Protein backbone atom coordinates (compact mmCIF):
# COMPACT_ATOMS: atom_id res chain seq x y z
CA UNK A 1 0.00 0.00 0.00
CA UNK A 2 2.80 2.43 0.92
CA UNK A 3 4.73 1.71 -2.28
CA UNK A 4 1.59 2.30 -4.34
CA UNK A 5 0.85 5.58 -2.56
CA UNK A 6 4.43 6.70 -3.17
CA UNK A 7 4.11 5.79 -6.83
CA UNK A 8 1.12 8.08 -7.27
CA UNK A 9 2.80 10.89 -5.30
CA UNK A 10 5.88 10.69 -7.53
CA UNK A 11 3.77 10.57 -10.70
CA UNK A 12 1.58 13.54 -9.78
CA UNK A 13 4.60 15.49 -8.54
CA UNK A 14 6.33 14.86 -11.87
CA UNK A 15 3.28 15.95 -13.85
CA UNK A 16 2.70 19.25 -12.06
CA UNK A 17 6.40 20.09 -11.96
CA UNK A 18 6.63 19.41 -15.71
CA UNK A 19 3.74 21.83 -16.24
CA UNK A 20 5.63 24.48 -14.25
CA UNK A 21 8.91 23.85 -16.07
CA UNK A 22 7.40 24.00 -19.56
CA UNK A 23 5.71 27.31 -18.83
CA UNK A 24 9.07 28.66 -17.67
CA UNK A 25 11.28 27.10 -20.37
CA UNK A 26 8.96 27.48 -23.40
CA UNK A 27 7.01 30.70 -22.78
CA UNK A 28 5.98 31.33 -26.42
CA UNK A 29 2.22 31.89 -26.31
CA UNK A 30 1.48 30.35 -29.72
CA UNK A 31 3.33 27.14 -28.84
CA UNK A 32 1.53 26.95 -25.51
CA UNK A 33 -1.84 27.34 -27.25
CA UNK A 34 -1.64 24.20 -29.35
CA UNK A 35 0.32 22.32 -26.67
CA UNK A 36 -2.45 22.76 -24.09
CA UNK A 37 -5.07 21.62 -26.62
CA UNK A 38 -2.90 18.62 -27.52
CA UNK A 39 -2.71 17.70 -23.83
CA UNK A 40 -6.52 17.87 -23.61
CA UNK A 41 -6.76 15.54 -26.62
CA UNK A 42 -4.37 13.02 -25.04
CA UNK A 43 -6.34 13.16 -21.77
CA UNK A 44 -9.55 12.40 -23.67
CA UNK A 45 -7.93 9.42 -25.43
CA UNK A 46 -6.40 8.11 -22.20
CA UNK A 47 -9.75 8.43 -20.48
CA UNK A 48 -11.46 5.89 -22.74
CA UNK A 49 -8.55 3.46 -23.05
CA UNK A 50 -8.64 0.05 -21.39
CA UNK A 51 -5.43 0.17 -19.39
CA UNK A 52 -2.94 -2.68 -19.15
CA UNK A 53 0.34 -2.87 -17.18
CA UNK A 54 2.53 -2.50 -20.26
CA UNK A 55 0.77 0.73 -21.28
CA UNK A 56 1.58 2.35 -17.94
CA UNK A 57 5.16 1.10 -18.05
CA UNK A 58 5.70 2.50 -21.54
CA UNK A 59 4.19 5.82 -20.45
CA UNK A 60 6.58 5.96 -17.47
CA UNK A 61 9.58 5.14 -19.65
CA UNK A 62 8.63 7.87 -22.11
CA UNK A 63 8.38 10.38 -19.26
CA UNK A 64 11.79 9.25 -18.02
CA UNK A 65 13.24 9.64 -21.53
CA UNK A 66 11.76 13.11 -21.89
CA UNK A 67 13.19 14.19 -18.53
CA UNK A 68 16.63 12.85 -19.46
CA UNK A 69 16.63 14.49 -22.92
CA UNK A 70 15.65 17.86 -21.45
CA UNK A 71 18.28 17.54 -18.73
CA UNK A 72 21.24 16.65 -20.91
CA UNK A 73 20.37 19.01 -23.76
CA UNK A 74 19.24 22.02 -21.72
CA UNK A 75 20.49 25.22 -23.32
CA UNK A 76 20.89 23.54 -26.70
CA UNK A 77 18.58 23.73 -29.68
CA UNK A 78 15.80 21.18 -29.21
CA UNK A 79 12.86 21.39 -31.62
CA UNK A 80 10.17 23.02 -29.53
CA UNK A 81 7.37 21.21 -31.38
CA UNK A 82 8.88 17.79 -30.61
CA UNK A 83 9.38 18.61 -26.94
CA UNK A 84 5.86 19.95 -26.47
CA UNK A 85 4.18 17.02 -28.26
CA UNK A 86 6.12 14.52 -26.14
CA UNK A 87 5.35 16.54 -23.03
CA UNK A 88 1.64 16.76 -23.91
CA UNK A 89 1.51 12.99 -24.31
CA UNK A 90 3.57 12.35 -21.16
CA UNK A 91 1.38 14.64 -19.06
CA UNK A 92 -2.05 13.88 -20.45
CA UNK A 93 -2.28 10.32 -21.70
CA UNK A 94 -2.25 8.45 -18.37
CA UNK A 95 -3.44 11.28 -16.10
CA UNK A 96 -7.10 10.12 -15.82
CA UNK A 97 -6.05 6.55 -15.10
CA UNK A 98 -3.43 7.61 -12.53
CA UNK A 99 -5.94 9.79 -10.66
CA UNK A 100 -8.64 7.13 -10.80
CA UNK A 101 -6.32 4.41 -9.53
CA UNK A 102 -4.78 6.66 -6.88
CA UNK A 103 -8.23 7.27 -5.39
CA UNK A 104 -9.59 3.75 -6.00
CA UNK A 105 -9.00 2.47 -2.47
CA UNK A 106 -10.52 5.53 -0.77
CA UNK A 107 -13.95 5.42 0.83
CA UNK A 108 -16.48 8.03 1.88
CA UNK A 109 -14.76 8.10 5.28
CA UNK A 110 -11.28 9.08 4.03
CA UNK A 111 -11.62 10.29 0.44
CA UNK A 112 -11.04 13.95 1.31
CA UNK A 113 -7.96 13.16 3.37
CA UNK A 114 -6.61 10.84 0.66
CA UNK A 115 -6.93 13.62 -1.92
CA UNK A 116 -5.38 16.04 0.58
CA UNK A 117 -2.35 13.75 0.91
CA UNK A 118 -1.74 13.85 -2.83
CA UNK A 119 -2.44 17.59 -3.09
CA UNK A 120 -0.12 18.38 -0.19
CA UNK A 121 2.63 16.16 -1.62
CA UNK A 122 2.45 17.90 -5.00
CA UNK A 123 2.55 21.32 -3.30
CA UNK A 124 5.66 20.30 -1.35
CA UNK A 125 7.37 19.08 -4.54
CA UNK A 126 6.63 22.39 -6.29
CA UNK A 127 7.69 24.44 -3.25
CA UNK A 128 10.97 22.54 -2.81
CA UNK A 129 11.77 22.80 -6.52
CA UNK A 130 11.07 26.55 -6.56
CA UNK A 131 13.20 27.15 -3.45
CA UNK A 132 16.13 25.26 -4.94
CA UNK A 133 15.78 27.12 -8.24
CA UNK A 134 15.71 30.53 -6.52
CA UNK A 135 18.71 29.58 -4.38
CA UNK A 136 20.82 28.14 -7.21
CA UNK A 137 19.46 30.03 -10.26
CA UNK A 138 19.98 26.89 -12.30
CA UNK A 139 17.23 25.53 -14.62
CA UNK A 140 18.69 22.05 -14.33
CA UNK A 141 17.32 21.89 -10.79
CA UNK A 142 13.82 21.35 -12.17
CA UNK A 143 15.04 18.74 -14.61
CA UNK A 144 17.05 16.84 -12.01
CA UNK A 145 14.00 16.66 -9.77
CA UNK A 146 11.82 15.58 -12.72
CA UNK A 147 14.27 12.79 -13.55
CA UNK A 148 14.47 11.74 -9.88
CA UNK A 149 10.67 11.62 -9.56
CA UNK A 150 10.31 9.34 -12.57
CA UNK A 151 13.10 7.06 -11.36
CA UNK A 152 11.48 6.85 -7.93
CA UNK A 153 8.09 6.13 -9.51
CA UNK A 154 9.54 3.27 -11.54
CA UNK A 155 11.44 1.94 -8.52
CA UNK A 156 8.28 1.89 -6.42
CA UNK A 157 6.57 -0.40 -8.96
CA UNK A 158 9.15 -3.12 -8.26
CA UNK A 159 7.58 -3.85 -4.87
CA UNK A 160 3.92 -3.51 -5.87
CA UNK A 161 2.17 -2.82 -9.16
CA UNK A 162 0.00 0.32 -9.09
CA UNK A 163 -2.61 -1.63 -11.07
CA UNK A 164 -3.11 -4.02 -8.15
CA UNK A 165 -4.26 -1.35 -5.73
CA UNK A 166 -7.25 -2.27 -3.58
CA UNK A 167 -10.54 -0.77 -4.68
CA UNK A 168 -13.59 0.60 -2.89
CA UNK A 169 -17.11 0.61 -4.29
CA UNK A 170 -18.33 3.50 -2.14
CA UNK A 171 -20.23 5.81 -4.47
CA UNK A 172 -23.64 7.36 -5.02
CA UNK A 173 -25.30 7.08 -8.42
CA UNK A 174 -26.24 10.39 -10.04
CA UNK A 175 -29.17 10.44 -12.43
CA UNK A 176 -28.85 12.14 -15.78
CA UNK A 177 -25.95 14.09 -17.17
CA UNK A 178 -27.04 17.43 -15.74
CA UNK A 179 -25.00 16.96 -12.55
CA UNK A 180 -21.86 16.01 -14.49
CA UNK A 181 -22.33 18.97 -16.85
CA UNK A 182 -22.78 21.34 -13.89
CA UNK A 183 -19.61 19.99 -12.26
CA UNK A 184 -17.58 20.29 -15.46
CA UNK A 185 -18.79 23.80 -16.30
CA UNK A 186 -18.35 25.16 -12.78
CA UNK A 187 -14.76 23.83 -12.60
CA UNK A 188 -13.98 25.13 -16.10
CA UNK A 189 -15.45 28.58 -15.35
CA UNK A 190 -13.36 28.90 -12.19
CA UNK A 191 -10.14 27.93 -13.98
CA UNK A 192 -10.79 30.30 -16.90
CA UNK A 193 -11.58 33.17 -14.51
CA UNK A 194 -8.46 32.39 -12.50
CA UNK A 195 -6.36 32.23 -15.68
CA UNK A 196 -7.61 35.63 -16.81
CA UNK A 197 -7.13 37.25 -13.39
CA UNK A 198 -3.65 35.79 -12.89
CA UNK A 199 -2.55 36.99 -16.32
CA UNK A 200 -4.06 40.46 -15.75
CA UNK A 201 -2.38 40.81 -12.34
CA UNK A 202 0.98 39.71 -13.73
CA UNK A 203 0.76 42.24 -16.58
CA UNK A 204 -0.40 45.07 -14.32
CA UNK A 205 1.79 44.48 -11.28
CA UNK A 206 4.72 42.47 -12.59
CA UNK A 207 5.95 38.92 -12.41
CA UNK A 208 7.53 39.47 -8.99
CA UNK A 209 4.12 40.10 -7.41
CA UNK A 210 2.75 36.88 -8.88
CA UNK A 211 5.86 34.98 -7.78
CA UNK A 212 5.36 36.18 -4.20
CA UNK A 213 1.65 35.40 -4.42
CA UNK A 214 2.37 31.84 -5.59
CA UNK A 215 4.96 31.36 -2.84
CA UNK A 216 2.42 32.45 -0.22
CA UNK A 217 -0.14 30.14 -1.81
CA UNK A 218 2.23 27.16 -1.60
CA UNK A 219 2.84 27.92 2.06
CA UNK A 220 -0.87 28.17 2.81
CA UNK A 221 -1.53 24.93 0.90
CA UNK A 222 0.50 23.06 3.54
CA UNK A 223 -2.19 24.07 6.04
CA UNK A 224 -5.27 24.21 3.84
CA UNK A 225 -5.02 20.78 2.17
CA UNK A 226 -5.03 18.72 5.41
CA UNK A 227 -7.62 21.02 6.99
CA UNK A 228 -10.07 20.97 4.08
CA UNK A 229 -9.55 17.25 3.47
CA UNK A 230 -10.56 16.58 7.09
CA UNK A 231 -13.55 18.93 6.88
CA UNK A 232 -14.75 17.33 3.63
CA UNK A 233 -14.77 13.90 5.22
CA UNK A 234 -16.41 15.08 8.43
CA UNK A 235 -19.03 17.59 7.29
CA UNK A 236 -19.47 16.99 3.56
CA UNK A 237 -18.15 18.35 0.26
CA UNK A 238 -20.95 20.66 -0.85
CA UNK A 239 -20.76 23.35 1.82
CA UNK A 240 -17.00 23.79 1.34
CA UNK A 241 -17.30 24.03 -2.44
CA UNK A 242 -20.11 26.58 -2.22
CA UNK A 243 -18.14 28.59 0.35
CA UNK A 244 -15.08 28.57 -1.93
CA UNK A 245 -16.97 30.09 -4.85
CA UNK A 246 -18.49 32.71 -2.55
CA UNK A 247 -15.09 33.54 -1.03
CA UNK A 248 -13.31 33.94 -4.37
CA UNK A 249 -16.31 35.92 -5.69
CA UNK A 250 -16.07 38.22 -2.67
CA UNK A 251 -12.33 38.54 -3.26
CA UNK A 252 -12.85 39.60 -6.87
CA UNK A 253 -15.50 42.11 -5.77
CA UNK A 254 -13.15 43.64 -3.18
CA UNK A 255 -10.29 43.90 -5.68
CA UNK A 256 -12.53 45.57 -8.27
CA UNK A 257 -13.56 48.23 -5.75
CA UNK A 258 -10.40 48.55 -3.67
CA UNK A 259 -6.96 48.04 -5.22
CA UNK A 260 -5.28 47.47 -1.85
CA UNK A 261 -7.36 44.29 -1.50
CA UNK A 262 -4.83 42.67 -3.84
CA UNK A 263 -2.78 42.02 -0.70
CA UNK A 264 -5.47 39.52 0.29
CA UNK A 265 -5.55 37.86 -3.15
CA UNK A 266 -3.10 35.04 -2.21
CA UNK A 267 -5.34 34.03 0.72
CA UNK A 268 -8.56 34.09 -1.32
CA UNK A 269 -6.92 32.19 -4.16
CA UNK A 270 -5.13 29.58 -2.02
CA UNK A 271 -8.21 28.70 0.02
CA UNK A 272 -10.43 28.35 -3.05
CA UNK A 273 -7.77 26.53 -5.05
CA UNK A 274 -7.20 23.94 -2.32
CA UNK A 275 -10.89 23.18 -1.81
CA UNK A 276 -11.76 23.08 -5.50
CA UNK A 277 -8.67 21.08 -6.45
CA UNK A 278 -9.50 18.54 -3.75
CA UNK A 279 -13.09 18.31 -4.92
CA UNK A 280 -12.79 18.44 -8.71
CA UNK A 281 -9.41 16.76 -9.26
CA UNK A 282 -9.50 14.03 -6.61
CA UNK A 283 -12.78 13.47 -4.76
CA UNK A 284 -16.03 14.01 -6.64
CA UNK A 285 -15.55 11.58 -9.54
CA UNK A 286 -14.98 8.70 -7.09
CA UNK A 287 -18.02 9.85 -5.13
CA UNK A 288 -20.43 9.68 -8.07
CA UNK A 289 -19.31 6.76 -10.25
CA UNK A 290 -18.50 3.04 -10.01
CA UNK A 291 -14.89 2.02 -10.34
CA UNK A 292 -15.15 0.97 -14.00
CA UNK A 293 -16.46 4.41 -15.08
CA UNK A 294 -14.15 6.64 -13.08
CA UNK A 295 -11.29 6.98 -15.58
CA UNK A 296 -13.58 8.76 -18.06
CA UNK A 297 -14.85 11.09 -15.35
CA UNK A 298 -11.34 11.89 -14.14
CA UNK A 299 -10.60 12.90 -17.73
CA UNK A 300 -13.60 15.21 -17.48
CA UNK A 301 -12.09 16.78 -14.38
CA UNK A 302 -8.57 17.07 -15.82
CA UNK A 303 -9.31 18.75 -19.15
CA UNK A 304 -10.43 22.09 -17.60
CA UNK A 305 -7.00 22.46 -15.96
CA UNK A 306 -5.35 22.72 -19.36
CA UNK A 307 -8.16 24.76 -20.88
CA UNK A 308 -7.53 27.32 -18.15
CA UNK A 309 -3.86 27.40 -19.15
CA UNK A 310 -4.97 27.70 -22.78
CA UNK A 311 -6.97 30.82 -21.85
CA UNK A 312 -3.89 32.46 -20.33
CA UNK A 313 -1.83 31.68 -23.43
CA UNK A 314 -4.60 32.99 -25.71
CA UNK A 315 -4.77 36.33 -23.89
CA UNK A 316 -1.00 36.65 -24.06
CA UNK A 317 -0.95 35.78 -27.76
CA UNK A 318 -3.66 38.33 -28.56
CA UNK A 319 -2.09 40.95 -26.32
CA UNK A 320 -5.35 41.49 -24.45
CA UNK A 321 -4.98 43.25 -21.11
CA UNK A 322 -8.08 43.52 -18.93
CA UNK A 323 -7.95 46.20 -16.26
CA UNK A 324 -9.08 45.68 -12.72
CA UNK A 325 -12.42 47.48 -13.06
CA UNK A 326 -13.17 45.79 -16.41
CA UNK A 327 -12.99 42.10 -15.55
CA UNK A 328 -13.18 41.63 -11.79
CA UNK A 329 -16.85 42.67 -11.38
CA UNK A 330 -17.76 40.16 -14.10
CA UNK A 331 -15.59 37.45 -12.52
CA UNK A 332 -17.15 38.13 -9.12
CA UNK A 333 -20.68 37.83 -10.52
CA UNK A 334 -19.71 34.62 -12.36
CA UNK A 335 -18.46 32.99 -9.14
CA UNK A 336 -21.69 33.89 -7.33
CA UNK A 337 -23.76 32.49 -10.21
CA UNK A 338 -21.77 29.24 -10.14
CA UNK A 339 -22.46 28.93 -6.40
CA UNK A 340 -26.18 29.31 -7.11
CA UNK A 341 -26.02 26.72 -9.92
CA UNK A 342 -24.21 24.22 -7.71
CA UNK A 343 -26.68 24.81 -4.90
CA UNK A 344 -29.65 23.92 -7.11
CA UNK A 345 -28.18 21.26 -9.43
CA UNK A 346 -25.43 19.39 -7.53
CA UNK A 347 -26.33 17.25 -4.50
CA UNK A 348 -24.13 16.50 -1.52
CA UNK A 349 -21.88 13.60 -2.57
CA UNK A 350 -21.08 12.49 0.98
CA UNK A 351 -24.15 10.46 2.06
CA UNK A 352 -25.83 11.64 5.25
CA UNK A 353 -25.79 8.08 6.58
CA UNK A 354 -21.96 8.17 6.61
CA UNK A 355 -21.94 11.37 8.68
CA UNK A 356 -24.58 10.05 11.06
CA UNK A 357 -22.79 6.71 11.48
CA UNK A 358 -19.55 8.56 12.32
CA UNK A 359 -21.33 10.78 14.85
CA UNK A 360 -22.93 7.75 16.46
CA UNK A 361 -19.56 6.00 16.72
CA UNK A 362 -18.02 9.10 18.32
CA UNK A 363 -20.94 9.32 20.76
CA UNK A 364 -20.46 5.69 21.77
CA UNK A 365 -16.72 6.26 22.30
CA UNK A 366 -17.39 9.31 24.49
CA UNK A 367 -19.96 7.35 26.47
CA UNK A 368 -17.42 4.56 27.06
CA UNK A 369 -14.82 7.05 28.29
CA UNK A 370 -17.31 8.70 30.64
CA UNK A 371 -18.34 5.29 31.98
CA UNK A 372 -14.72 4.34 32.63
CA UNK A 373 -14.07 7.62 34.43
CA UNK A 374 -16.84 6.87 36.98
CA UNK A 375 -15.68 3.36 37.80
- pLDDT tens-digit series, residues 248-287: 999 888 888 888 888 888 888 899 999 999 999 999 999 9
Residue 60 lies in a domain: yes
DSSP symbols for 172-225: ----SSHHHHHHHHHHHHHHHHHHHHHHHHHHHH-HHHHHHHHHHHHHHHHHHH
Q: At what angle do helices 238-257 and 324-345 cross, to 10 degrees?
A: 160
> Would the pTM count as exceeding 0.75?
yes
Q: What is the pLDDT of residues 30-41, one digit of tens each?
A: 888 999 999 999
What is the reported pLDDT for 96? 92
**238-243: average pLDDT:** 93
363 falls within a domain: no
Q: Tell me the average pLDDT across 112-126.
A: 94
Answer whether residue 371 is part of any domain: no
**Sign of CA pseudo-dihedral 172, 173, 179, 185:** positive
Q: How high does pLDDT run on average in the chain?
A: 85
User: Is 332 a domain residue?
Assistant: yes
CATH number where 240 lies: 1.20.1250.20
How many distinct structural domains can be found in the chain? 1
Q: What is the pLDDT of residue 159?
A: 64
Banded model confidence at residue 247, pLDDT cuts 50, 70, 90: very high
Element (H, E) at 2: helix 2-25
How far apart CA 96 and CA 92 sit, in angstroms, is 8
| Predicted local confidence at residue 340, as pLDDT | 87
Is 343 part of any domain? yes
3-class secondary structure, 93: coil
- Which pLDDT belongs to residue 37? 93
Whether residue 306 lies inside any domain: the answer is yes
With respect to residue 373, please indicate whether it lies within any of the assigned structural domains: no
For residue 258, give every residue at least 6 positions away whose Cβ sits within 8 Å of its Cβ, in sequence order, or none: none
Give the helix ranges, DSSP H, for 49-139.
53-72, 80-92, 95-102, 111-136
User: Residue 57: exposed, middle, or buried by beta-carbon count in 10 A (0-12, 13-18, 19+)?
Assistant: middle
pLDDT reported for residue 82: 81
Q: Is 167 exposed, middle or buried (0-12, 13-18, 19+ CB in 10 A)?
A: middle
Considering the domain boundaries, does residue 367 fall inside one?
no
SS (H, E, C) 154-182: HHHHHHCCHHHCCCCCCCCCCCCCHHHHH
- pLDDT at residue 283, as a whole number: 95
Provide CB contacts within 8 A for 199, sequence distance 6+.
312, 315, 316
Domain of residue 257 covers 2-162+176-358
Amino acid sequence: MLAQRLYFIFELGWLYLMMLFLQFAYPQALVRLWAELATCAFIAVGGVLSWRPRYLRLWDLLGLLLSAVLLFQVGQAIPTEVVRVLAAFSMGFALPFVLSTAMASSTFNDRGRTGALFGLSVSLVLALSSILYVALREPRVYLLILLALKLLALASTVEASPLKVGSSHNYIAVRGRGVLAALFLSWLAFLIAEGVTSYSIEVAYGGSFMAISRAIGMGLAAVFFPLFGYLMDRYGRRVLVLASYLIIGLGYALISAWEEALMLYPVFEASSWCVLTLFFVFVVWSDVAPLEARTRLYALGSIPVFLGRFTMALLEHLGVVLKRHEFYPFASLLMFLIAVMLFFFVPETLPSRVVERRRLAEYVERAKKIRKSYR
